[in-house]
A and B are shown apart, each in its own frame.
Chain A
Amino acid sequence: MAEVRQVPEASFTSYYGRPILKPAKWREPHLPAYLFLGEMSGAAAVLAAIASASGQRGLARAGRLAAVAGAAGGAGFLTAELGRPERFLNMLRVAKPTSPMSVGAWLLAAHSGLVSVAAASDLTGVMPGVGEAAGRAAAVTGPLLATYPGVLLANTAVPAWHSAYRELPMLFAGGAMTAAGAAALAITRPGPDGPPGTGPAQRVALLGAVLESAAGFAIERLIGPEGEPYRQGDGGRMLRVARAMTLAGAGAALTARRSRAGAITAAALLTGGGLAAKFAVLRAGVASASDPKYVVAQQRATPGGARP
Chain B
Amino acid sequence: MAECHPVAFGWVVEAKRRGATVLHLDPRFTRTSALADHHIPVRVGGDIVLLGALVNHVLSGRHEFREYVSAYTNAADILPEDFTDTEDGAGLFSGYDPGSRRYDNTTWQPTGERDETLEHPRCVFQVLKRHFARYTPELVEAVCGVSRQDFALLADALVAGSGRERTTVWVYAVGWTQHTTGVQHIRTAAILQLLLGNMGRPGGGIMALRGHASIQGSTDIPTLFDLLPGYLPMPRVEDDSLKAYLTRLPDTGFWGLKDAYTVSLLKAWFGDAATAENDYCLDYLPRLSGDHGTYSTVLDMIEGKVSGYFLWGQNPAVGSAGSRLQRLGLAKLDWLVVRDLALIESATFWQDSNEIATGELDPTRCATEVFFLPAAAHVEKEGSFTNTQRMLQWHDKAVDPPGDARSDLWFIYHLGKRIRAKLAGSTDDRDRPLLDLTWTYPEEGEDAEPNAEAVLREVNGYGPGGRLLNGFTELAADGSTSCGAWIYSGCFAGGVNQTARRKPHTEQSWVAPEWGWAWPANRRILYNRASADPQGRPWSEKKAYVWWDEQASQWTGHDVPDFERAKPPGFRPERGASGPAALAGTDPFIMLADGRGHLFVPSGLADGPLPAHYEPAESPVRNSVYGQDDSPVSKLYPDHAITHDQVGGHSAAYPCVVTTYRLTEHHTAGGMSRTLSRLSELQPELFCEISPALAADRGLENGGWATIITARSAIEARVLVTRRVRPLRLSDGSVIHHVGLPYHWGTAGLVRGDTVNDLLPFAVDPNVLIQESKVATCQIVAGRRPRGPALTVLVNEHRRAAGLGDLPGGPERGNG
Separation of A2 and B704 alpha carbons in the complex (Å): 6
| 0/1 string, B665-686, CB within 8 A of A gives 1 | 0000000000000000000000
Residue of A nearest to B702 (CB): A6
- Whether A6 and B695, one on each chain, are in contact in the complex, defined by CB atoms closer than 8 angstroms, is yes
| 0/1 string, A1-27, CB within 8 A of B gives 1 | 111111101000000000000000000
Separation of A4 and B702 alpha carbons in the complex (Å): 6
Report A-chain residues with C-beta under 8 Å of the C-beta of B703: 1-4
Q: In the complex, which of the residues A1, A3, A6 contacts B722, with contact meaning CB atoms closer than 8 Å?
A: A6
Report B-chain residues with C-beta under 8 Å of the C-beta of A5: 701-702, 721
- Whether B692 and A6, one on each chain, are in contact in the complex, defined by CB atoms closer than 8 angstroms, is yes
| 0/1 string, B692-735, CB within 8 A of A gives 1 | 10010000011110000000000000101111000000000000
Q: List 24 A-B contacts (CB under 8 A).
A: A1-B703, A1-B704, A1-B718, A2-B701, A2-B703, A2-B704, A3-B703, A4-B702, A4-B703, A5-B701, A5-B702, A5-B721, A6-B692, A6-B695, A6-B701, A6-B702, A6-B721, A6-B722, A7-B702, A7-B720, A7-B721, A7-B722, A7-B723, A9-B723
Report A-chain residues with C-beta under 8 Å of the C-beta of B723: 7, 9
Sorting the interface of chain B by its residue count into under 10, 10 to 19, 20 to 34 or 35 or more gives 10 to 19
Residue of A nearest to B691 (CB): A6
In the complex, how many angstroms separate the beta carbon of A1 from the nearest chain B beta carbon?
A: 3
Report B-chain residues with C-beta under 8 Å of the C-beta of A1: 703-704, 718
Report A-chain residues with C-beta under 8 Å of the C-beta of B722: 6-7
Separation of A9 and B702 alpha carbons in the complex (Å): 12
Separation of A6 and B721 alpha carbons in the complex (Å): 5
Separation of A80 and B39 alpha carbons in the complex (Å): 56
Separation of A4 and B700 alpha carbons in the complex (Å): 11
Report B-chain residues with C-beta under 8 Å of the C-beta of A3: 703
In the complex, how many angstroms separate the beta carbon of B739 from the nearest chain A beta carbon?
A: 15
Residue of A nearest to B720 (CB): A7
Q: Which residues of B contact A (CB under 8 A)?
A: 692, 695, 701-704, 718, 720-723
Residue of B nearest to A6 (CB): B721
A-B interface pairs (CB < 8 A), number: 24
Separation of A7 and B701 alpha carbons in the complex (Å): 10
Separation of A7 and B703 alpha carbons in the complex (Å): 9
- Of B695, B702, B704, chain A has the most CB atoms within 10 Å of the CB of B702
In the complex, how many angstroms separate the beta carbon of B720 from the nearest chain A beta carbon?
A: 6
In the complex, how many angstroms separate the beta carbon of B66 from the nearest chain A beta carbon?
A: 49
Given contacts A4-B703, A6-B721, 16 further A-B contacts (CB under 8 A): A1-B703, A1-B704, A1-B718, A2-B701, A2-B704, A3-B703, A4-B702, A5-B701, A5-B702, A5-B721, A6-B695, A6-B701, A7-B721, A7-B722, A7-B723, A9-B723
Which 6 pairs between the two chains have the least Cβ-Cβ distance?
A1-B703, A6-B721, A6-B702, A7-B722, A4-B702, A2-B701
The prevalent SS among residues of B at the interface is: loop
Report A-chain residues with C-beta under 8 Å of the C-beta of B692: 6
Separation of A264 and B721 alpha carbons in the complex (Å): 61
In the complex, how many angstroms separate the beta carbon of B648 from the nearest chain A beta carbon?
A: 31
Q: Which residues of A contact B (CB under 8 A)?
A: 1-7, 9
Report A-chain residues with C-beta under 8 Å of the C-beta of B702: 4-7
In the complex, how many angstroms separate the beta carbon of B700 from the nearest chain A beta carbon?
A: 9
Separation of A1 and B720 alpha carbons in the complex (Å): 11
In the complex, how many angstroms separate the beta carbon of B684 from the nearest chain A beta carbon?
A: 12
Report B-chain residues with C-beta under 8 Å of the C-beta of A6: 692, 695, 701-702, 721-722
Report A-chain residues with C-beta under 8 Å of the C-beta of B720: 7
Report B-chain residues with C-beta under 8 Å of the C-beta of A4: 702-703
Separation of A9 and B722 alpha carbons in the complex (Å): 9
- Of A1, A6, A7, chain B has the most CB atoms within 10 Å of the CB of A6
Residue of B nearest to A9 (CB): B723
Separation of A2 and B692 alpha carbons in the complex (Å): 15
Separation of A2 and B701 alpha carbons in the complex (Å): 6
Residue of A nearest to B718 (CB): A1
In the complex, how many angstroms separate the beta carbon of B725 from the nearest chain A beta carbon?
A: 11
Report A-chain residues with C-beta under 8 Å of the C-beta of B695: 6
In the complex, how many angstroms separate the beta carbon of B31 from the nearest chain A beta carbon?
A: 14
Report A-chain residues with C-beta under 8 Å of the C-beta of B718: 1
Separation of A2 and B695 alpha carbons in the complex (Å): 13
In the complex, how many angstroms separate the beta carbon of B768 from the nearest chain A beta carbon?
A: 37
In the complex, how many angstroms separate the beta carbon of B480 from the nearest chain A beta carbon?
A: 66
Separation of A3 and B723 alpha carbons in the complex (Å): 18
Separation of A3 and B701 alpha carbons in the complex (Å): 9
Report B-chain residues with C-beta under 8 Å of the C-beta of A7: 702, 720-723
Separation of A7 and B702 alpha carbons in the complex (Å): 7
Separation of A6 and B687 alpha carbons in the complex (Å): 13
Report B-chain residues with C-beta under 8 Å of the C-beta of A9: 723
Separation of A1 and B702 alpha carbons in the complex (Å): 8
Separation of A9 and B723 alpha carbons in the complex (Å): 9
In the complex, how many angstroms separate the beta carbon of A15 from the nearest chain B beta carbon?
A: 16
Residue of A nearest to B700 (CB): A6
In the complex, how many angstroms separate the beta carbon of A3 from the nearest chain B beta carbon?
A: 8
Report B-chain residues with C-beta under 8 Å of the C-beta of A2: 701, 703-704
Residue of A nearest to B701 (CB): A2
Separation of A1 and B687 alpha carbons in the complex (Å): 13
Separation of A3 and B702 alpha carbons in the complex (Å): 8
Separation of A169 and B125 alpha carbons in the complex (Å): 88
In the complex, how many angstroms separate the beta carbon of B693 from the nearest chain A beta carbon?
A: 11
Residue of A nearest to B689 (CB): A7
Separation of A292 and B701 alpha carbons in the complex (Å): 25
Separation of A9 and B724 alpha carbons in the complex (Å): 11
Separation of A7 and B723 alpha carbons in the complex (Å): 8
Separation of A5 and B692 alpha carbons in the complex (Å): 10
Report A-chain residues with C-beta under 8 Å of the C-beta of B721: 5-7
Separation of A7 and B720 alpha carbons in the complex (Å): 7
Separation of A2 and B783 alpha carbons in the complex (Å): 12
In the complex, how many angstroms separate the beta carbon of A5 from the nearest chain B beta carbon?
A: 6
Report A-chain residues with C-beta under 8 Å of the C-beta of B704: 1-2
In the complex, how many angstroms separate the beta carbon of A254 from the nearest chain B beta carbon?
A: 57
In the complex, how many angstroms separate the beta carbon of B730 from the nearest chain A beta carbon?
A: 25
Residue of A nearest to B703 (CB): A1
Separation of A211 and B718 alpha carbons in the complex (Å): 55
Residue of B nearest to A3 (CB): B703
In the complex, how many angstroms separate the beta carbon of A248 from the nearest chain B beta carbon?
A: 47
In the complex, how many angstroms separate the beta carbon of A40 from the nearest chain B beta carbon?
A: 46
Separation of A145 and B718 alpha carbons in the complex (Å): 54
Residue of B nearest to A8 (CB): B702
Separation of A2 and B706 alpha carbons in the complex (Å): 12
Residue of B nearest to A7 (CB): B722
Separation of A255 and B250 alpha carbons in the complex (Å): 115
Residue of A nearest to B722 (CB): A7
In the complex, how many angstroms separate the beta carbon of B705 from the nearest chain A beta carbon?
A: 9
In the complex, how many angstroms separate the beta carbon of A6 from the nearest chain B beta carbon?
A: 4
Separation of A149 and B701 alpha carbons in the complex (Å): 46
Separation of A5 and B720 alpha carbons in the complex (Å): 9
Separation of A3 and B695 alpha carbons in the complex (Å): 15
In the complex, how many angstroms separate the beta carbon of A102 from the nearest chain B beta carbon?
A: 37
Separation of A2 and B702 alpha carbons in the complex (Å): 7
Separation of A9 and B721 alpha carbons in the complex (Å): 11
Separation of A7 and B718 alpha carbons in the complex (Å): 13
In the complex, how many angstroms separate the beta carbon of B193 from the nearest chain A beta carbon?
A: 37
In the complex, how many angstroms separate the beta carbon of A60 from the nearest chain B beta carbon?
A: 61
Separation of A5 and B702 alpha carbons in the complex (Å): 5
Separation of A5 and B701 alpha carbons in the complex (Å): 5
In the complex, how many angstroms separate the beta carbon of A169 from the nearest chain B beta carbon?
A: 44
In the complex, how many angstroms separate the beta carbon of B716 from the nearest chain A beta carbon?
A: 14
In the complex, how many angstroms separate the beta carbon of A92 from the nearest chain B beta carbon?
A: 39
In the complex, how many angstroms separate the beta carbon of B672 from the nearest chain A beta carbon?
A: 28
Separation of A4 and B719 alpha carbons in the complex (Å): 11
Separation of A3 and B692 alpha carbons in the complex (Å): 16
Separation of A7 and B719 alpha carbons in the complex (Å): 10
Separation of A259 and B722 alpha carbons in the complex (Å): 70
In the complex, how many angstroms separate the beta carbon of B782 from the nearest chain A beta carbon?
A: 11
In the complex, how many angstroms separate the beta carbon of A13 from the nearest chain B beta carbon?
A: 19
Report A-chain residues with C-beta under 8 Å of the C-beta of B701: 2, 5-6
In the complex, how many angstroms separate the beta carbon of A295 from the nearest chain B beta carbon?
A: 25
Separation of A49 and B723 alpha carbons in the complex (Å): 70
Separation of A132 and B701 alpha carbons in the complex (Å): 71
